Structure 1
Amino acid sequence: MRTGHGAGDALPPRRGQGELEAQVLAVLGGAPGPVTAAWVRERLPGTLAYTTVMTILTRLHAKGAVARERAGRSFDWIPVADGAGLAALRMRKVLDGEADRQAVLASFVTSLPPGDEQLLRGLLARTDEEGGG
């Protein structure tokens, strides 16, 4: 039972960690340059605590999705990855944690819908043509 709310009071829906990360990355992506956590907080929907924003920024930094530079006693934050980049970082982290990378990749590719499999094959072919593979 929750306290501090009347029987008819509805609590706002909780956002998932991934949703908050995506919102923070979107705000950073629209920033004019390196910005403070307070700047990010002011532009996020709802009323998040400053500590929550700092936690999300710190997690994104640990994932390599944002960079930070010292600004006095705090940090200014800069996006390194967008939402797609963050998803790619997550996928890479999962893959790096597996012993049999070939089996994981083969299973992943064979489980894709045909359109996604063709898209992936096209991206791989383009990467090979550009000398990146």
Structure 2
Amino acid sequence: MNSLGGLERRIMDVLWGSDAWLTVREVANRISDSGLAYTTVMTVMNRLVGKEFLLRERTEDGRTWRYRPAAGREAYVAELMLSALSETGDRIAALGHFARSVTVEEAEALREALPPDPPGKRP
């Protein structure tokens, strides 16, 4: 799983915060650092396409690309969590530690997200 660098994360935050496809110019205008060059934002967005974080398509006039996230922020965070779990020698211990550190509401959300037990699997 590829992690995001600082500028990549800021670009993804802009795109995750929008329901629409955005052009490089629109993303560049929404990033707080107005000192960033358009070409810098364009280069980073093209790299994000290559890393499969972004999808792109031509605008109606065919002159410009527009972009949107390939998946939501939640899917990205879930992939980071799974990647972190793969780094440990004991996934069960890591999951147990994680489960003991969540709030009551988060624990309930985890229980609700789990699939039902298959027949005959519980003692």
Match of residue 25, structure 2, among 38, 57, 66: 38
- Cα distance between partner residues in 2 of 1:53 and 1:97: 33
Shift of 1:95: 2.0
The share of aligned pairs that are identical, in percent, is: 25
Structure 2: distance between partners of 1:60 and 1:120:
31
Instruction: Please report the RMSD computed on the Cα atoms of aligned residues, expressed in angstroms.
Output: 3.5
Normalised to the residue count of structure 1, the TM-score between the two structures is 0.55
Question: 2:10 aligned with 1:23, yes or no?
Answer: no
Structure 1 residues 114 and 79: CA distance shift in structure 2, 3 A? same
Render the CA deviation track for 1:78-110: whole Å, top value 9, x for unaligned.
312223232222222222333322222122112
Contact 2:15/2:68 (8 A) holds in 1: no
**TM-score of the superposition, structure 2-length normalised?**
0.59
Size of the aligned set, in residue pairs, is 107
Q: 1:119 aligns with which of 90, 109, 113?
A: 109
**1:36-75 aligned within 5 A:** 36-47=23-34, 48-50=36-38, 51-52=40-41, 54-55=43-44, 58-59=47-48, 62=51, 64-68=52-56
Hey, what does 1:12 align to over in structure 2? none
Gaps in structure 1 of 5+ consecutive residues: 1-15
* Stretches of structure 2 lacking an aligned partner (at least 5 in a row): 118-123
Which one scores higher on RCO, CA 8 angstroms, separation ≥ 6? 2
